[in-house]
Amino acid sequence: MRLRTKKEGNVVSQLYDEVRDFLHREAFLIDNRRFGEWLDLLGETLVYRMPLRVTREKSAGSDIVEEMTFLEENKRSLITRVHRLNTTSAWAEDPPSRTRHFITNIFVEPVADDEVQVTSYFLMLRSRGSKEEVEQIFGERHDVLKKVDSSWKLTYRTIYPDQSVLGIRNISNFL
Amino acid sequence: MAYKTVDRQTLEEVKTKIQRGMLPQWAFTNHDIYERELEHIYAKTWNFIAHESEIANPGDYVTRWIVNDPILLLRDKDGQMKAYLNSCAHRGMQLCSADFGNKSTFTCPYHGWTFNQKGELIGIVAGNKVYGHEMDKSQWGLRKIPRLESYRGMIFASLNPDAESLEDFLGGMKWYFDIMLGRTTNGMEVRGVPHRWIINTNWKISSDNFGGDPYHTAMTHRSTVELGISPQDPLYASYGHQVVLENGHGINLCTTKDGGTKYPYQGLPKELWGEFEQNLTPEQRAVLYKTVVFVGSCFPNLSFVSPMHGTGGPDEPLTSFVNFRTWRPLAPDKIEVCSWLLVDKDAPESFKEASYKSYIGSFGPAGTLEQDDGEIWTRVVDASKGYMIQHKDVHYDNVLNYIMGLDRVEPDESWPGPGVAYPTCYLDAISRAFYEQWVDMLLASEA
- Rounded to a whole number, what is the distance in Å from the CA of B8 to chain A's nearest CA? 35
Contact status, residue B63 vs residue B70, Cβ threshold 8 Å:
yes
- Residue B107 carries which side chain, given as an amino acid letter? T
pLDDT the model gives residue B213: 96
Distances from the Cα of B320 to the Cαs of B292, B304, B362, in angstroms?
A: 9, 13, 11
Mean pLDDT, 10 residues at a time, chain B of 447 residues: 72 94 95 96 98 98 98 98 98 98 97 97 90 91 98 98 98 98 98 98 98 95 88 92 98 95 95 98 98 98 94 76 98 98 98 96 94 96 90 74 96 98 98 98 86
pLDDT the model gives residue B425: 97
- Residue B409 carries which side chain, given as an amino acid letter? V
Q: How many residues does chain B have?
A: 447
For helices B282-290 and B173-181, the axis angle rounded to 10 degrees is 70
Mean pLDDT of chain A: 94
Distances from the Cα of B301 to the Cαs of B73, B99, B297, B327, in angstroms?
A: 19, 21, 7, 5
Alpha-carbon gap, residue B336 to B320, rounded angstroms: 25
Whole-number percent of chain A with pLDDT over 90 = 92
Alpha-carbon gap, residue B309 to B400, rounded angstroms: 32
Q: What are phi and psi of A136, to 5 degrees?
A: -145, 155
Could you tell me which of B135, B147, B75, B76 has the C-alpha nearest to residue B111? Answer: B135
ipTM of the complex: 0.94
Q: Does an H or E element contain A147, and which?
A: strand A135-148
Q: Does an H or E element contain A107, and which?
A: strand A98-112
Query: Which residue in A has a C-alpha nearest to residue B368's C-alpha?
Result: A81
- Rounded to a whole number, what is the distance in Å from the CA of B305 to chain A's nearest CA? 18
Distances from the Cα of B4 to the Cαs of B199, B202, B414, in angstroms?
A: 25, 18, 47
Q: What is the CA radius of gyration of chain A?
A: 17
Contact A169 B378 (CB under 8 A): yes
Distances from the Cα of B146 to the Cαs of A70, A99, B275, B397, in angstroms?
A: 35, 47, 36, 43
pLDDT the model gives residue B348: 97
Q: Which residues contact B167 (CB under 8 A, 6 or more apart)?
A: B149, B151, B174
Contact status, residue B345 vs residue B334, Cβ threshold 8 Å:
no
Alpha-carbon gap, residue A157 to A160, rounded angstroms: 10
Q: What is the CA radius of gyration of chain B?
A: 23
CA A100 from chain centre, in angstroms, equals: 12
pLDDT the model gives residue B1: 42
Alpha-carbon gap, residue B374 to A92, rounded angstroms: 8
Q: What are phi and psi of B185, to 5 degrees?
A: -65, -40
Contact A77 B368 (CB under 8 A): no
Contact status, residue B339 vs residue B364, Cβ threshold 8 Å:
yes
| Out of A57, A91, A168, closest to residue B372 by CB | A91
Residues of B in contact with A50 (CB under 8 A): 366
Note whether B192 contacts A: Cβ–Cβ < 8 A.
yes
Residues of chain A that touch chain B, judged by Cβ-Cβ distance less than 8 Å: 50, 52, 54-57, 60, 65-72, 76-77, 80-81, 83-84, 87-93, 129, 164-172
Could you tell me which of A19, A71, A79, A76 has the C-alpha nearest to residue A48? Answer: A71
Alpha-carbon gap, residue B263 to B289, rounded angstroms: 8
Could you tell me which of B349, B333, B336 has the C-alpha nearest to residue B271? Answer: B349
Interface of B with A in 338-357 (CB under 8 A): 341, 356-357
- Rounded to a whole number, what is the distance in Å from the CA of A111 to chain B's nearest CA? 31
SS (H, E, C) chain B: CCCCCCCHHHHHHHHHHHHCCEEEHHHHCCHHHHHHHHHHHHCCCEEEEEEHHHHCCCCEEEEEEECCEEEEEEECCCCCEEEEECECCCCCCECCCCCEEECCEEECCCCCCEEECCCCEEECCCHHHHCCCCCCHHHCCCCECCEEEEECCEEEEECCCCCCCHHHHHCCHHHHHHHHHCCCCCCEEECCCCEEEEECCCHHHHHHHHHHCHHHHHHHCHHHHHCCCCCCCCCCCCCEEEEECHHHCEEEEECCCCCCCCCHHHHCCHHHHHHHHHHCCHHHHHHHHHCCEEEEEECCCEEEEECEECCCCCCCCCEECEEEEEEEEEECCEEEEEEEEEEECCCCHHHHHHHHHHHHHHCCCCCCCHHHHHHHHHHHHHCCCCHHHHCCCCCHHHEEECCCCCCCCCCCCCCCCCCEEECCCCCCHHHHHHHHHHHHHHHHCCC
What are A20-31's pLDDT values in tens digits? 999 999 999 999
pLDDT the model gives residue B5: 75
Contact B193 A70 (CB under 8 A): no
Sheet of strand A151-161, all strands in order from the earlier edge strand to the far edge: A64-74, A42-53, A151-161, A135-148, A115-127, A98-112
Q: Which residues contact A105 (CB under 8 A, 6 or more apart)?
A: A119, A120, A121
Contact B366 A72 (CB under 8 A): no
What are A40-70's pLDDT values in tens digits? 999 999 999 999 999 999 999 999 999 999 9
Contact status, residue B279 vs residue B183, Cβ threshold 8 Å:
yes
